[in-house]
Structure 1
Amino acid sequence: MQGVVATKHLLGRVAAMDLTEAPEDRAFRAEIRDWLGDHLTGEWAALRGLGGPGREHEAHDERLAWNRHLAEHGWTAVGWPAEHGGRGLSLWQQVIFHEEYARANAPAGVNHLGEQLLGPTLIAFGTPEQQRRFLPEIVAVRELWAQGYSEPNAGSDLANVQTRARLDESTGEWVIDGQKVWTSLAHLSDWCFVVARTTPGSARHQGLSFLLVPLRQDGVEVRPIEQLTGGSEFNEVFFTGARTAGDLVVGEPGRGWGVAMGLLGFERGVSTLGQTVGFARELDGVVARARGNGSIDDPIVRDRLARLRSELAVIRSFALRSLGGGTPGAESIFKLAWANWHRTLGEVAMDVAGVSGLVAGSSYDLDEHQRLFLFSRADTLYGGSDEIQRNILAERVLGLPKEPRG
């Protein structure tokens, strides 16, 4: 309970910021809205609303083609500098792009990890050769990426990584052995950025390296993990003598922890604001169902729905006001806020559905609210669990003593 109170207290500590759109920003909003309206037609119209968490199995090849269509018209990597193939949009214009994309109910992207995480990391930490090799392929959506962080005994505690890599002096290649788990879309990806221990005898944050590893090779086995929602967007990945070139280490060998943490700083960037638009659409769907089955007449249900509406507005406002920096612990606060809000939405959706929500269709055919409920159980775990986020806020923002570690 103290953690919840602290989070709500921190939500109110955001400095005032002018969120008024300038004329050029309003013009840009109209530009992207009109472009999406003109292009999400014909063969692309059927893709509206497809994909996303818990639904990544939907029309993957078609969504890949749509993403390449976006690339051909300059609508990928919009926040990257122009010299690296992006549009160089301002922070606020990036927000506008992601919000309008979500409002158009456009299909979910297929290379979020490459475009939103690895690309900015290579721009910040990569060599010019690495940038020339990989950035154009990400912009054009020709190579897809997975994230090799979590392991069976190193999830939220990433510093416990046990996957190892050694430099083969005879070939100049890194040789990787170990296991990663919860590797999103590895079965569909071409490459994986892997945190591995490269200094023998090292422990915790020391001796780790950030490697770029091709997945389509002998020595890599990808095993999909079946989810409660159907589909298998998460995977186990086993490296047994897998190899990558010696120069495909980002940053200095043995000092990859800083690179790995830098990447996580990009994880909760402006694209997450489009997420709140999607959340609002989901909430609208739950309200529509409540109106349809009469549960809206229950004052408790109405109160819970109204509370969700107001809380989502506060979360969005916090996210916008913290974009410019200067809000200690903003990433952890935002993760705690949206993850718990979304999990609650799933619970309310099941209460609104009533008895019918307990029964799946033939062949385990889930409706949208059943899938919402089941997938949102994981929201407070992946990307850093609630416990980890609260420890970060307690220790680094509030200055409380560190949690004892056994």
Structure 2
Amino acid sequence: MDFEFTSEDEAFRTEARGWLVAHADSAQDRRTWERTLGKAGWIGLGWPEGGYGNRTAGLTQQVAWAEEYARSGAPPRSGHIGENLLAPTLLAHGTDEQKSRFLPPIAAGEELWCQGYSEPGAGSDLAGVRTSAVREGASYRISGQKIWTSLAHEADWCFVLARTDPGSRRHQGLSFLLVPMDQPGRIEVRPIRQMTGTSDFNEVFFDGAHAREEHVVGEEGQGWRVAMSLLGFERGVSTLAQQIGFAEELGRVVRAAVRTGAVDDPVLRARLVRQWAELRAMRWNALRTLGGSGDAGAPSVAKLLWANWHQRLGELAVAVRGAEASVGPADWSASAPYELDPDQHLFLFSRADTIYGGSDQVQRTIIAERVLGLPREPKGVV
């Protein structure tokens, strides 16, 4: 596969880098930053032209933007769920009215989204959702609970997979609904405090929340098809930006190994070399997938690769520092949230990498059944 950057791509990269240098340091809160990005047209680069307020860019230019963004130290994105998951889904399955209503505010950074998929008891088994949506005239009344909902405490809207046919089972009878979060008394968001001390994940309780009938994406009862299509959009140029961040983390770990003398340990040195080599392999695999050379199991292979790689990097980050990695700041207080240094945060947060976004077991099952053609895993087996 030929994946070369042209002179036009490099000119685009230079423009992106210059803009980020000029604006990233002045960023305030994450919502304001989304609006800043939107005003300059940097949201929705991969969308087609359609009057949504976005500039368009080819695949290699999208890669250049993602890499420069990761290198710039700009704030984490709050709008990526709307931009990279919902927007491509609307472009594929939405009505013209839905595209006109929802894409411009996403491109402008004005409306933030969260994903209402996982539920207690049905996290990795998405077909087991029990949240219900009952038709009442021109709207739906939604009841149920979602969990591990990223950024729900900041979101204006949530796309919700709910069961609209009460007698249905598994993949049947599900619908994909667009639900406004500003419904006091009908939607409650409870942040989940993680062992890192942060609370980006949430529980969301729907108690008769309303969604309008024109905000069903695809037909009623066809939510599984739409939901699976959305999950296919989770891979893309963002994986390359993720790897730029991984490279920076690896560089920090290597510098710590040199500083502490851990690099002289042949076992630790071999582990560091392995991390570097595997990161290079992941990049080429991502490029191959973006070039259309992947198969049905490519997203699962990629998830298995990076999740386990990142988890091992977290273990290395504390190993090269020895005992000091287990000690917190001198001004820790039991009455205040604790703070972690970057290596401690990396170690603790990466424990979840092999679970969220589809656990390792789920990814291996997908590869076994859809790629290798092995017998389906019996349901109910733990």
1:150 and 1:359 map into 2 onto residues whose CA distance is 35
* 2:293 counterpart of 1:319: no
TM-score of the pair, normalised by structure 2: 0.94
Query: Percent of aligned positions with the same letter in both sequences?
Result: 59
2:12 and 2:232 map into 1 onto residues whose CA distance is 26
Asked if 1 retains the 8 angstrom alpha-carbon contact of 2:36 and 2:109, the reply is no
Q: Which runs of 5+ in 2 are unaligned?
A: none
* 2:343 counterpart of 1:369: yes
- Displacement of 1:67: 2.1
Alignment: residue pair count: 371
Q: 2:353 aligns with which of 349, 373, 379?
A: 379
- Supply the AA of the counterpart residue of 1:27: A
Question: Secondary structure of 1:396's match?
Answer: helix
Q: Deviations over 1:64-88 (max 9, x none)?
A: 2222111111111111112133322
Aligned to 1:394: 368
Asked if 2 retains the 8 angstrom alpha-carbon contact of 1:63 and 1:107, the reply is yes
Runs (4+) of structure 1 exceeding 3 A deviation are none
Aligned to 2:145: 179
Q: Which runs of 5+ in 1 are unaligned?
A: 1-16, 45-60
- Supply the AA of the counterpart residue of 2:158: C
Asked if 2 retains the 8 angstrom alpha-carbon contact of 1:79 and 1:86, the reply is no
* 2:130 counterpart of 1:162: yes
Aligned to 1:138: 106
* 2:25 counterpart of 1:22: no
- Displacement of 1:324: 2.4
Asked if 1 retains the 8 angstrom alpha-carbon contact of 2:88 and 2:233, the reply is yes
1:164 and 1:319 map into 2 onto residues whose CA distance is 37
What is the root-mean-square deviation of aligned Cα atoms in Å? 1.2
* 2:213 counterpart of 1:246: yes
Q: Deviations over 1:254-293 (max 9, x none)?
A: 1110110111111122112100000000011111111111
Asked if 2 retains the 8 angstrom alpha-carbon contact of 1:173 and 1:245, the reply is yes
2:70 and 2:233 map into 1 onto residues whose CA distance is 19
Question: Secondary structure of 1:87's match?
Answer: coil
- Supply the AA of the counterpart residue of 1:382: Y
1:324 and 1:117 map into 2 onto residues whose CA distance is 20
Q: 1:330 aligns with which of 281, 284, 298?
A: 298
1:338 and 1:22 map into 2 onto residues whose CA distance is 28
Question: Secondary structure of 1:203's match?
Answer: coil
Q: How does 1:6-405 map to 2 (within 5 A)?
A: 17-41=1-25, 43-44=26-27, 62-83=29-50, 84-169=52-137, 172-217=138-183, 218-328=185-295, 329-361=297-329, 362-363=332-333, 364-405=338-379
Q: Deviations over 1:163-199 (max 9, x none)?
A: 0001112xx2100010000011111111100000001
2:15 and 2:110 map into 1 onto residues whose CA distance is 26
2:149 and 2:353 map into 1 onto residues whose CA distance is 15
- Displacement of 1:405: 2.1
Question: Secondary structure of 1:174's match?
Answer: strand
TM-score of the pair, normalised by structure 1: 0.89
